[in-house]
């Protein structure tokens, strides 16, 4: 089984010590976010084909990767680097540092290990079409040679996303929009051209309506890439976790509402105060990233 760590929260940035403890123990426990069933997930080497790590700041986790490699686990790092203003990402590490971390990953483990994510694409008065074209090109130029793929997705405006975006717009004095598909498809095409010029393929995550010439369907959990990294075939079935998801089957060990990065467009955080409190009260020696039944007095 491939272990995803995690599209629900940034484990490498905030919960690396916990993950290493669980790898050494050989298992962790996780809670189904809908039915609240508790699962025991093996992290033993014989049961894990590889890890996919998702992060916006690999720096705190870099010292752990040599041990993970020594233990024989192949891994891929899905690395989000947006370079957005603080009005959209309150506490994400500066993009320049993330770029250096991604170069370090590529230099140490090879360019098939890190995948750049320019994700999520948000249209606002501070991040319009021209901003994205300049910003994407700037980051792509600095990452050239460090990866062969960049994944993009456009903000999906769920109810909680709309609420958080409206709050941030009022608080920080900007406007935002969810433009027509034609606008997104046009931008995706221009970003794909830029990516190609820097040695990368552009893929789109779970939004096949934006596929076009030179744009591929993203497989963020990718058994093919992990096979290349491992130097052996990793068998896995295609089994996405939502409509249009092109991923291979995996088990995610994260927990929603635990990431304190403060990205107002994020689908995985309903309440940032709750996420911050959970992070502060997290038990790095526990079996769960956040144990079921623990109550916090945070207004929702």
Give tens-digit pLDDT for 169-228.
999 999 999 999 999 999 999 999 999 999 999 999 999 999 999 999 999 999 999 999
Tell me what percent of the chain is helix, strand and coil, each rounded to the nearest 5.
35, 20, 45
Q: Are strands 38-42 and 27-31 parallel, antiparallel or unpaired?
A: antiparallel
The pLDDT assigned to 241 comes to 84
Q: Which helix (H) or strand (E) holds 5?
A: strand 2-5
CA–CA gap between residue 162 and residue 165 (Å, rounded):
5
* Tokens read off for 149: 């793929």
Q: How confident is the model at residue 242 (pLDDT cuts 50, 70, 90)?
A: confident
Q: Is the pTM of this model over 0.85?
A: yes
- Residue 257 clears pLDDT 60, i.e. is over it: yes
How many beta carbons lie within 10 A of that of residue 150, not counting itself? 26
Higher pLDDT, 11 or 158: 11
Please report how the helices 129-143 and 181-197 are oriented relative to each other, as an axis angle in degrees rounded to 10: 20
Length of the chain, in residues: 300
* Tokens read off for 131: 């901003």
Q: Which helix (H) or strand (E) holds 237?
A: none
- Residue 16 clears pLDDT 70, i.e. is over it: yes
The pLDDT assigned to 295 comes to 57
Q: How confident is the model at residue 164 (pLDDT cuts 50, 70, 90)?
A: very high
Give tens-digit pLDDT for 70-94.
999 999 999 999 999 999 999 999 9
């Amino acid at each position: 089984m491939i272990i995803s760590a995690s599209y629900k929260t940034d484990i490498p940035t905030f919960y690396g010590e916990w993950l290493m403890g669980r790898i050494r123990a050989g298992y962790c426990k996780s809670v189904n976010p809908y039915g609240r069933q508790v699962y025991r997930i093996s992290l033993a080497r014989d049961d894990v084909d590889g890890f996919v790590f998702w992060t916006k700041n690999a720096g705190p986790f870099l010292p752990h990767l040599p041990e993970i490699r020594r233990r024989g686990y192949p891994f891929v790092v899905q690395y989000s680097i947006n370079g957005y203003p603080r009005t959209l990402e309150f506490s994400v590490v500066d993009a320049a540092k993330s770029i250096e971390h991604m170069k370090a990953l590529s230099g140490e483990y090879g360019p098939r290990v890190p995948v750049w994510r320019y994700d999520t694409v948000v249209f606002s008065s501070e991040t319009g079409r021209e901003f994205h074209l300049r910003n994407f090109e700037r980051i792509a130029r600095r990452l050239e040679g460090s990866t062969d793929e960049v994944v993009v997705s456009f903000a999906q405006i769920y109810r909680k996303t709309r609420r958080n975006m409206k709050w941030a717009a009022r608080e920080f004095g900007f406007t935002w929009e969810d433009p027509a598909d034609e606008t997104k498809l046009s931008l995706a095409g221009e970003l794909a051209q830029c990516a190609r010029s820097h040695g990368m393929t552009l893929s789109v995550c779970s939004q096949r309506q934006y596929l076009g010439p030179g744009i591929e369907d993203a497989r963020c959990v990718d058994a093919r890439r992990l096979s290349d990294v491992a130097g052996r075939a990793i068998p896995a079935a295609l089994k996405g976790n939502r409509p249009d998801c092109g991923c291979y089957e995996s088990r995610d060990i994260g927990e929603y509402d635990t990431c304190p990065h403060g990205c107002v467009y994020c689908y995985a955080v309903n309440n940032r105060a709750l996420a911050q409190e959970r992070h502060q009260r997290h038990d790095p020696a526990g079996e769960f990233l956040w144990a079921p039944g623990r109550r916090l007095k945070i207004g929702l």
